[in-house]
């Protein structure tokens, strides 16, 4: 079905087997080269590039037309497929060229504001303003092609397992719990607003109450948050829910999906189950609930070895912990100073950095030599299993959690410096046993770490009354290369337990009823045990495509102010639109 009104073939189709065929191609002018009496035009479309040839000898006026073509002109070329005397091994059509008999300019083009090449001269802002030209670049379009392929594979996998894709509404009610909602004023119900879903969480739970058994949806979700590189106000989730399952059932299905995607998208076979790590271990050994396990460098806690020797900073610390950077013992003073600067940056906030290098022969030389004997330093060395030429980096502080977060940053930085974070290597992990709650100083109450519908571990339920902070949840995240690509939980299906949960979270009964009454009512009519997971599609695609930002796998992303600079949205409304909505904007 490639033949259409304007072409017989695409610019990626033709091979030596087509030699002698009369064809019509259409596409964009990538480049025009004049060589002697010949003119060569690279014609580009989504499928490839084909060389067009014009010769002054055989048709000088046609050749003159070709010479007038500008970059990005849209042209149609009729001609014969010929063997190329000087093949281009780098492109699949490189063995042939088209001896053009007729050339039609379908549309002209102004000179584009940046070059449409894999390596472009356009800066970020310019490329976002002219995103439609940026998307012409093969490197950018490939990301979107990968995204398409990925969603096709996701659907194929889930459909095979009996999951039904069900569209849930975009115009729902606002639930102030959690992140901020985007809201939509209702003209037919003046003064009232819909909200755009942060996720279809409650709706997919209702579908379980409805007996849908296995649900999924690839769906836009919305969060009105202050933005970072990795966040967009609208993002896409692969949202899934299952009934009559426990945690193991869900991990099996979605680990299977991850393996399926690795195989189909990246050609990587992952054998054996993904490793699992408790949330507590992830925090203790990596200072993060999404550890990058492409490399080791686990934290070693040194309080037992380094406290009580008169070094005041360590003696008074809540935690002393370090990492061992294999082979970095030769780091210069300057390199170590850079690392010290790195951890002292306000975003990280450490007070200083202690180092210890293992010299040839096993002796340990450190920045705290005057406080510790070589014997103690040898104990430190042993604690890491450090060897000659290794560099040990140690942080401490009066808040263990904060020190671990600082160590985490330092560890990732060392991973980068030592080339241990290869984008073509993938390390998958389940982080399990998340705490049920986290204490919010700001709100002065417990907040749900996952969300208020998460099921506590059966064995921890008695602690809901006595020690909520210690209660673990049937919640799990999938982490790949330090990126949380998805997460989920077993949900509460008992109305009584749900009510207790809202109580611990500080909801009055009235407030709980107002916000989640529809769900709690639904649970009165036979809710099955259920649970689920949501994968972040944008993150998955970024990971597979080796991108630094999810922005590059989104066709029309927004910038850090939530603006679409190409569409120039958001924008002021006509007064008549505001009037119809009975709204006014205050200063």
**Residues annotated within a binding site for L-aspartate:** 177, 223, 450, 491
Task: Give whichever of 186 and 278 is closer to a copy of itself, judged by the CB atom.
Answer: 186
Task: Give whichever of 295 and 453 is closer to a copy of itself, judged by the CB atom.
Answer: 453
Give φ, ψ of 292 to 5 degrees.
-85, 105
Binding-site residues from annotation for ATP: 223-225, 232, 484, 536-539
Task: Give whichever of 173 and 389 is closer to a copy of itself, judged by the CB atom.
Answer: 173
Q: Are 331 and 357 in contact (CB under 8 A)?
A: yes
Binding-site residues from annotation: 177, 223-225, 232, 450, 484, 491, 536-539
- 299-324 in b/e form (b: 16+ CB < 10 A) is bbbbbebbeeeebebbeebebbbbbb
- In DSSP notation, 144-174 reads HHHHHHHHHHHHHHHHHTT-EE-PPPSSB--
Task: Give whichever of 209 and 282 is closer to a copy of itself, judged by the CB atom.
Answer: 209
Residues in the chain, overall count: 587
Which of these ranges, 285-293, 463-471, 478-486, 561-569, lies near a copy of itself under the rule CB under 8 A?
561-569
- 245 forms part of the interface with a copy of itself (CB under 8 A): yes
- 506 forms part of the interface with a copy of itself (CB under 8 A): no
Q: In angstroms, rounded to a whole number, what is the distance separating the alpha carbons of residues 277 and 286?
A: 11
Q: Give me the residues paired with residue 239 across strands.
A: 217, 534
Q: Are strands 164-165 and 214-222 parallel, antiparallel or unpaired?
A: parallel
**What part of residues 274-333 is at the interface with a copy of itself (CB under 8 A)?**
none
- Taking CB atoms within 8 Å and a gap of at least 24, the contacts of 560-568 are 560/227, 560/228, 561/227, 562/227, 562/233, 565/125, 565/128, 565/129, 566/128, 566/129, 566/130, 566/131, 566/132
Q: Give me the residues paired with residue 536 across strands.
A: 237
**What part of residues 89-108 is at the interface with a copy of itself (CB under 8 A)?**
106-108
Q: Which ranges of 228-367 would DSSP assign to H, the alpha helix?
A: 247-266, 279-286, 303-306, 312-315, 333-344
Peptide bond before 301: cis, by omega within 30 degrees of 0? no
Nearest partner of 143 among 155, 129, 156, 131, judged by Cα = 131
Residues 6+ apart with CB under 8 A from 452: 177, 498, 501, 502, 505, 516
Q: Smallest gap, in angstroms, from Cβ of residue 407 to a copy of itself?
A: 33
Q: Which helix (H) or strand (E) holds 99?
A: strand 96-107
**What part of residues 144-163 is at the interface with a copy of itself (CB under 8 A)?**
144-145, 147-148, 151-152, 155, 159, 161-162
- 120 forms part of the interface with a copy of itself (CB under 8 A): no
Task: Give whichever of 16 and 161 is closer to a copy of itself, judged by the CB atom.
Answer: 161
Q: Smallest gap, in angstroms, from Cβ of residue 331 to a copy of itself?
A: 42
Q: Smallest gap, in angstroms, from Cβ of residue 365 to a copy of itself?
A: 51
- 68 forms part of the interface with a copy of itself (CB under 8 A): no
Q: In angstroms, rounded to a whole number, what is the distance separating the alpha carbons of residues 111 and 114?
A: 8
Q: Are 56 and 37 in contact (CB under 8 A)?
A: yes
- 520 forms part of the interface with a copy of itself (CB under 8 A): no
- 209 forms part of the interface with a copy of itself (CB under 8 A): yes
Which of these ranges, 286-294, 365-373, 459-467, 515-523, lies near a copy of itself under the rule CB under 8 A?
515-523
- 493 forms part of the interface with a copy of itself (CB under 8 A): yes
- 460 forms part of the interface with a copy of itself (CB under 8 A): no
Q: Smallest gap, in angstroms, from Cβ of residue 562 to a copy of itself?
A: 5
- 405 forms part of the interface with a copy of itself (CB under 8 A): no
- 63 forms part of the interface with a copy of itself (CB under 8 A): no
Q: In the set 26, 98, 323, 473, which binds a copy of itself (CB under 8 A)?
A: 26
Binding-residue total with a copy of itself (CB under 8 A) = 130
**What part of residues 252-271 is at the interface with a copy of itself (CB under 8 A)?**
252-253
Task: Give whichever of 98 and 300 is closer to a copy of itself, judged by the CB atom.
Answer: 98
- 72 forms part of the interface with a copy of itself (CB under 8 A): yes
Residue 567 Cα distances to 171, 306, 549, 561, 570, angstroms? 23, 59, 21, 14, 8
- 164 forms part of the interface with a copy of itself (CB under 8 A): yes
**What part of residues 6-25 is at the interface with a copy of itself (CB under 8 A)?**
6-7, 10
- 178 forms part of the interface with a copy of itself (CB under 8 A): no
- Taking CB atoms within 8 Å and a gap of at least 24, the contacts of 461-470 are 461/497, 464/500, 464/501, 464/504, 468/436, 468/437, 468/504, 469/435, 469/437, 469/439, 470/435
- 584 forms part of the interface with a copy of itself (CB under 8 A): yes
Q: In angstroms, rounded to a whole number, what is the distance separating the alpha carbons of residues 325 and 357?
A: 10
Which of these ranges, 207-215, 283-291, 401-409, 414-422, lies near a copy of itself under the rule CB under 8 A?
207-215
Q: In the set 173, 178, 389, 506, which binds a copy of itself (CB under 8 A)?
A: 173
Q: In angstroms, rounded to a whole number, what is the distance separating the alpha carbons of residues 436 and 451?
A: 9
Dihedral sign, Cα of residue 57, residue 58, residue 62, residue 66: negative
Q: Smallest gap, in angstroms, from Cβ of residue 555 to a copy of itself?
A: 5
State the binding string over 426-455 for a copy of itself (x if CB under 8 A, else -).
Answer: ------------------------------
Which of these ranges, 136-144, 260-268, 298-306, 406-414, lies near a copy of itself under the rule CB under 8 A?
136-144
Q: Are 339 and 413 in contact (CB under 8 A)?
A: yes
Which of these ranges, 219-227, 333-341, 479-487, 543-551, lies near a copy of itself under the rule CB under 8 A?
219-227
């Amino acid at each position: 079905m490639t033949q259409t009104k304007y072409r017989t073939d695409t610019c990626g189709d033709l091979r030596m087997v087509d030699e002698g065929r009369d064809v019509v191609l259409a596409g964009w002018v990538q480049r025009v080269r004049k060589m002697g009496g010949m003119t060569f035009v690279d014609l580009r479309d989504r499928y490839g590039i084909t060389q067009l040839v014009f010769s002054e000898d055989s048709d000088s006026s046609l050749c003159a037309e070709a010479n007038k073509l500008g970059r990005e002109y849209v042209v149609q070329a009729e001609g014969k497929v010929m063997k190329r005397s000087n093949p281009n091994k780098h492109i699949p059509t490189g063995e042939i060229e088209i001896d053009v008999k007729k050339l039609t300019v379908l549309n002209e083009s102004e000179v584009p504001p940046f070059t449409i090449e894999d390596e472009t001269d356009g800066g970020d802002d310019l490329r976002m303003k002219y995103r439609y030209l940026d998307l012409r670049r093969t490197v950018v379009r490939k990301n979107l092609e990968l995204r398409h392929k990925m969603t096709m594979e996701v659907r194929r996998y889930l459909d095979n397992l009996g999951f039904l894709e069900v569209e849930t509404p975009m115009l729902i009610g606002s639930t102030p719990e959690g992140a901020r909602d985007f809201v939509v004023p209702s003209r037919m119900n003046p003064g009232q607003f819909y909200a755009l879903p942060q996720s279809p969480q409650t709706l997919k739970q209702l579908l379980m109450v409805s007996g849908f058994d296995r649900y999924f949806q690839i769906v836009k979700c919305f969060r009105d948050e202050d933005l970072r590189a990795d966040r967009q106000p609208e993002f896409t989730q692969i949202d899934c829910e299952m009934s009559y399952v426990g945690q193991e059932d869900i991990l099996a299905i979605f680990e299977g999906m991850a393996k399926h995607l690795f195989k189909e998208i990246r050609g990587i076979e992952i054998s054996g189950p993904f490793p699992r790590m408790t949330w507590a271990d992830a925090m203790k050994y990596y200072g993060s609930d999404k550890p990058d396990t492409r490399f080791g460098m686990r934290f070693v806690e040194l309080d037992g070895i380094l406290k009580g020797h008169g070094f005041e900073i360590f003696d008074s610390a809540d935690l002393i912990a370090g990492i061992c950077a294999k082979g970095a013992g030769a780091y210069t003073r300057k390199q170590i100073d850079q690392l010290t600067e790195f951890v002292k940056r306000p975003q990280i906030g450490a007070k200083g950095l202690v180092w210890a290098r293992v010299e040839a022969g096993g002796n340990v030389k450190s920045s705290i030599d005057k406080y510790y004997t070589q014997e103690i330093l040898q104990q430190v060395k042993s604690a890491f299993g450090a060897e000659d030429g290794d560099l040990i980096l140690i942080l401490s502080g009066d808040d263990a959690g904060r020190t671990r977060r600082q160590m985490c940053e330092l560890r990732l930085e060392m991973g980068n410096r030592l080339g241990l974070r290869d984008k073509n290597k993938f390390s998958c992990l389940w982080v399990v046993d998340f705490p049920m709650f986290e204490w919010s100083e700001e709100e002065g109450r417990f907040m749900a770490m996952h969300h208020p519908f998460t099921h506590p571990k059966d064995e921890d339920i008695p602690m809901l009354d006595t020690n909520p902070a210690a209660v673990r949840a049937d919640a799990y995240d999938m982490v790949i290369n330090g990126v949380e690509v998805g997460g989920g939980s077993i949900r509460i299906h008992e109305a009584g337990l749900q009510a207790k949960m809202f109580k611990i979270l500080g909801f009055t009964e009235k407030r709980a009823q107002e916000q989640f009454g529809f769900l709690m009512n639904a649970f009165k009519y036979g809710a099955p045990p259920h649970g689920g997971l949501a994968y972040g599609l944008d993150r998955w695609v970024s990971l597979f495509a080796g991108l630094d930002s999810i922005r590059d796998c989104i066709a029309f992303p927004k910038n850090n102010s939530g603006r679409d600079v190409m569409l120039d949205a958001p924008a002021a409304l006509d007064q008549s639109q505001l009037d119809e909505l009975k709204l006014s904007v205050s200063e």
